[in-house]
Structure 1
């Protein structure tokens, strides 16, 4: 296995576990401990990880980081992200909406040869060094959401076609209506829905049987929910 492939796997494992050991990664990749120690040293020099005694950890500072919203229900979001990523196949073109649940797909997409069209700055950052091709939607940056929104973003999305779209929501009520916090967030989601063959809504249990500020759609044929109880 070449260094670039090992690099992708090491970064993927760090995103999943935050701390990994030399022996653990060596066994996973089928190489020697010495090789992994050299890899860890190289990645530390590239400022991609922090060397620890017998292993490596994530960098404490990320280029983009969600607030406490990402931390809430993080384990459930990781499971949902893994389930969603399993639906993506090599050769797919996918939309990835912004949000603290959709971002959890990234570690499971690193080795897939796909095209990702996204309005999420954290997705772009997390997918660096992966096999995926990344297209960042143009428009106005929302610093709080760390995403691109606005009419230009919606126009940009409409120029593409995707096999699958993965979107987040603020809430899903008992009648399966989809709710967003604002018009600009709903606008991006609607544009992705209109330009994708299949749509998957990612939501943990805290979003279910609730309402938010703006109803923009509903779960129906072609729009499926990915969650865990």
Structure 2
């Protein structure tokens, strides 16, 4: 075996290890970590995609069965970041609010720490509704939105879910997506899920995006909306280009571990008015 082929095999092995650990990977990060050009990484991903070992997406790759990842599998990925994001999100919750919690492991972590009185929580997530029902928080009322069950997400979607949302007036919606891109917008697994989140955003006075850093520069599935369509982004970290974009569009950014992690523009006013 030539040294060139041996180096390629080592890169391929590293890429697959990253996918097994995190579920997705980005071209820019792989190029930096492996010390090669992004063009080399694109060729590596194309080769592995031809072998049906991964699926290429805009800006990177995901596991071949990424769309069918179970809730339990996703819950353990980047778990520390998700817990930190949830605790930062809790700072936005006020007693007496009406909230929406999206399907997904990060919003689920928020459900586990909700402790304010007089909350009305709406969700189409089976695990989140179950966790809230078991929490014995007397001041939290939980409504599970009806619809058709999507097994791998453990969520409810469809016309019934969308119809229920059309009658709601939410104080705040905490949403989650599978990809965040400046060019491709906010994307999620299926069009059915995207329609539900669009309905949530119309029903909410304030929309908060919960996302860990692994989601940036990925486009996975249909578009929910643009990054500038949300009021606040809560994340463990954020690329500088995204921070500039948020600042230009009056979107507040709250980063875990940074008590002053918001932007100084009119975003803070927008947050308080919501």
Which aligned runs of 4 or more in structure 1 are off by greater than 6 angstroms? none
The question of 1:185 aligning with 2:190 is answered no
Deviations 1:52-104 (A, max 9, x none): xxxxxxxxxxxxx9321110000000001111121010010011111111101
Q: Provide the residue aligned with 1:199 in structure 2.
A: 207
Q: Provide the residue aligned with 1:107 in structure 2.
A: 112
Contact in 2 for aligned 1:176/1:219 (Cα 8 Å): no
Q: Which TM-score applies when normalising by structure 2?
A: 0.58
Could you say if the C-alpha distance between residues 176 and 88 of structure 1 is closer, same or farther in structure 2, counting changes exceeding 3 Å? farther
Give the number of equivalent residue pairs. Answer: 165
Which runs of 5 or more residues in structure 1 are unaligned? 1-64
Q: Any idea what SS the aligned residue of 1:209 has?
A: coil
- Of Structure 1 and Structure 2, the greater helix share is in 2
**Could you tell which deviates more after superposition, 169-178 or 72-81?**
169-178
- Of Structure 1 and Structure 2, the greater strand share is in 1
> Which of 213, 225, 229 is matched with 2:233 structurally?
225
Q: Provide the residue aligned with 1:155 in structure 2.
A: 163
| Structure 2: distance between partners of 1:110 and 1:206 | 28
Over the aligned positions, Cα root-mean-square deviation in angstroms equals 1.6
Contact in 1 for aligned 2:94/2:116 (Cα 8 Å): no
| Structure 2: distance between partners of 1:68 and 1:118 | 20
| Structure 1: distance between partners of 2:195 and 2:229 | 20
Matches within 5 A, 1:135-174: 135-174=143-182
Which runs of 5 or more residues in structure 2 are unaligned? 1-69, 238-274
